[in-house]
Structure 1
Amino acid sequence: MPTDQPHALIFDMDGVIVDNTDYQAEAFQLLFREHGLTTNARHLLERLNGMPATAILKTVFHHPVPEKDLKRYADQREFLYRVIYWEKRQEIAGLTDFLRAARQAGFKIALGTGSASETIGYIIDHLHLRSFFDIITGADDVEKGKPHADTFTVVAQKLGIPPERCVVFEDAVLGEQAAYRAGMRCVCLATSVEASKFQSPMKIIKDFTEIEPQDIFTLLEQQPAVPKPDKQRAQRQYMKLS
């Protein structure tokens, strides 16, 4: 399947570059405790992981919360997360070898995450991964986060590669839906949710020791059409999507 036109690999960050969902959940849980909320953060992230933190927080309060307060709570959660995760930061198994091999195979490589620029740097600069990415797109670069298509659509536009030649690596159900809305196919990592929760990934892996860049071409041939987004799958408890 390789041609003179390149393919692109687009990586989410949390749960894909690093296996950090448990630490994210712990930070949310500490914030919830401070506000007297009993929501189970781990279960919440299984449903809403991939969305901006302010959007996730909006779902757990039983009364309207001003945007400025949601932003303040999100900043508090981010601080807690960084303290908890500071000594734990490490790439998911096999990632660097996969990225290096993908570059040698001629793939364009991008990061498409719902995190803001400072949080992106907290991970990829600490792990010395920034040089692998041709494009980095985060929350500051799009109007609507996942499950909307904007994150991945912006990446494809910046790379100059059509969506059908882009493959997304995601760990979240809503991230998978965002990929399909963007007209892209998806490989999913079962780091944050059970494999059975995903809709139609080309492959489900636990880390990057289970896949090689050349496998992408075979997977694309096996799934020639992009799956249609599943609205029911994206309509999770605690949230309302347009």
Structure 2
Amino acid sequence: MAESTPYALIFDMDGVLINNTSVQARAFQLLFRDLGLTTNALQLLKRLNGMPATKILETVFTNPVPKKQLETYANQREFLYRTLYWEKRRAMPGLTQFLHDARAAGFKTGLGTGSGNDTIGYIIDHLDLRRYFDVVITKDDVDHGKPHADTYTVTARELGIPAERCIVFEDALMGEQAAYKAGMRCIALSTSIKPAKFQAPLKVIKDFTQITPAQVLNLLEQNLPIPKPSKQLAKREYMKM
């Protein structure tokens, strides 16, 4: 890869670096039980995963809930999640080797997640993954979370790479839409939803044993059109799934 014109790989965290969607759903479900809500958390996440927890929670109440209360609920969910996931923290199969090989091949690498700094530290520092990323962008670094473009736009800007030379790894519809809004292509991981549910990824993989940096480079060099975001898929009304 020419050093003067590198490409960038940008990764979501939940469902991409780690396969944790079922545990996230369990934490939400326990919170909903305590709040007397009957919402199906797994179905909810299949639609809205990738958005900040407060925004996800906002959708399950009939009446508006004050921001501070939503933050309290999100913190409760985070505690439940960490307790449930403590002994299960594992990198996605093939991830570490893929990241090592990608950096050796000249790719810039960034992490763009809707989680906060404390949450990502619980994952990427425990798994010793931070060293593989040139840039780490969290919800604390952007004004608007997914499906807005901010997360990936800011990551690309900090990497110093034009959007059209970036490719995003996502497992969620909201994240896929954020990538397209940012003017980037996407490779999807089928850890949270079925492959057919995505809009138009370049490729769908189960984990990082199914792809190499050379294959990603080939996809980028084809210079395929960047999909236009789907207004329908970016809607937040999970009840219409």
Give the TM-score, by structure 1 length: 0.96
* Per-residue Cα deviation, 1:184-205 (whole angstroms, up to 9, x for no partner): 0000000001111101100000
Map of 2:76 onto structure 1: 76
Query: Deviation at 1:75?
Result: 0.1
2:202–2:219 contact (8 Å) kept in structure 1: yes
Indicate the percent of aligned positions where both proteins have the same amino acid: 65
Map of 2:63 onto structure 1: 63
Report the AA paired with residue 122 of structure 2: Y
Map of 1:101 onto structure 2: 101
Structure 1 residues 9-20: aligned runs within 5 Å = 9-20=9-20
Map of 1:213 onto structure 2: 213
- Structure 2 residue ranges without an equivalent (≥5): none
Task: Work out whether 1:235 is the aligned partner of 2:222.
Answer: no
* Per-residue Cα deviation, 1:39-92 (whole angstroms, up to 9, x for no partner): 000000000000000000010011111100000000000000000000000000
Question: After the TM superposition, which segments of 4 or more aligned residues of structure 1 sit over 3 Å from their partners?
Answer: 1-4
* CA-based RMSD: 1.4
Map of 2:29 onto structure 1: 29
| Mapped partners of 1:75, 1:222: distance in 2 | 43
Map of 1:44 onto structure 2: 44
Map of 1:224 onto structure 2: 224
Query: Deviation at 1:237?
Result: 2.7
Report the AA paired with residue 160 of structure 2: G
| Mapped partners of 1:209, 1:156: distance in 2 | 25
| Mapped partners of 2:230, 2:2: distance in 1 | 30
* Per-residue Cα deviation, 1:121-145 (whole angstroms, up to 9, x for no partner): 0000000001000000000000000
Report the AA paired with residue 122 of structure 1: Y
Map of 1:177 onto structure 2: 177
1:202–1:220 contact (8 Å) kept in structure 2: no
- Structure 1 residue ranges without an equivalent (≥5): none
Task: Work out whether 1:110 is the aligned partner of 2:110.
Answer: yes
1:202–1:223 contact (8 Å) kept in structure 2: no
Give the TM-score, by structure 2 length: 0.97
